[in-house]
Amino acid sequence: MTEGVDPGGSRREQEPAAPGKSRRRRIIGAVGGIALVAVVFAFLLPKIADYADVWDVVTGLSGPAIAALVVATVINVATYGPPWMAALPGLNYRRSMVLTQSSTALSIAVPGGDAVGIAASYAMLRGWNFDRQAVAVAVVVTGVWNQIVNVVLPVLALSLLLLSGGSSPLLLTAGLIGIGAIVLLAVALALVLRGEPQARATGERAERAANRVLRVARRPPRAGWGDAVVRFRRETITLLARRWAAITVAAFAGHLAVFGVLLVSLRATGGGADEVTWVEARAAWGLVRLLTAIPATPGGVGIVELGLSTALVGFGAGNAEAVAAVLLYRVLTVIPTLVLGGILGLTWRRHRIAPTGE
* pLDDT over threshold 60, residue 80: yes
Highest mean pLDDT: which range of 25-34, 66-75, 93-102, 244-253: 66-75
pLDDT per residue over 286-319, tens digit each? 878 777 766 667 777 888 898 899 989 988 899 9
Residue whose C-alpha is closest to residue 159's, from 184, 144, 179:
179
* pLDDT over threshold 50, residue 229: yes
* pLDDT over threshold 70, residue 113: no
Which pLDDT value is given to residue 22? Answer: 57
Radius of gyration of the chain (CA): 22
CA separation for the pair 345, 120 (Å, rounded): 10
Residues near 132 by beta carbon (within 8 Å), at least 6 away in sequence: 126
Rounded to the nearest integer, the mean pLDDT of the chain is: 79
* pLDDT over threshold 90, residue 99: yes
CA separation for the pair 157, 165 (Å, rounded): 13
The residue type at 250: A
Whether the Cβ atoms of residue 275 and residue 317 lie closer than 8 Å to each other: yes
Please report which confidence band the pLDDT of residue 4 belongs to, taking 50, 70 and 90 as the band edges.
very low
Least confident of 60-64, 202-206, 333-337: 202-206
Residue whose C-alpha is closest to residue 338's, from 108, 121, 111:
108
Q: Name the pTM for this structure.
A: 0.78
Residues near 97 by beta carbon (within 8 Å), at least 6 away in sequence: 80, 81, 340, 344
Least confident of 14-28, 178-192, 226-240, 315-329: 14-28
Which pLDDT value is given to residue 11? Answer: 38
Least confident of 125-129, 279-283, 330-334: 279-283
Residues near 244 by beta carbon (within 8 Å), at least 6 away in sequence: none
